[in-house]
Amino acid sequence: MKLTGALTFANAHEVWAVLAPSAEGKASIDVSGVTQVDSAGLALLSALKRRAGAQCQVIGLTPKLATLASAYDVEALF
């Protein structure tokens, strides 16, 4: 699964509605194409990873996303 564009409060609900049904069983979530992210986007990624399963890896972590994950002390999720 490859994510692109913004993952923010403004679109988190819509992104979830589109991606959640297909997330189950995915081996990876590629976030290298994410251009904007906030705490809602971080929560969305966490929920998608949980939906995908324990073996799912988040790959392509951008510096901004890594900084945000660190600020919320959730780096272990990624």
Q: pLDDT tens-digit profile of 1-27?
A: 999 999 999 999 999 999 999 999 999
Q: CA nearest 52: which of 18, 29, 15, 25?
A: 25
**Which tens digits make up the pLDDT trace of 20-46?**
999 999 999 999 999 999 999 999 999
Angle between helical axes of 39-52 and 63-71 (0-180°, round to 10): 90
Q: What is the DSSP letter of 53?
A: -
Q: Are 8 and 37 in contact (CB under 8 A)?
A: yes
Residue 49 has pLDDT above 90, yes or no: yes
The pLDDT of residue 77:
81
Full set of structural domains in the chain with CATH: 2-77 (3.30.750.24)
Nearest to 45 by CA among 55, 33, 30: 30
This prediction's pTM: 0.88
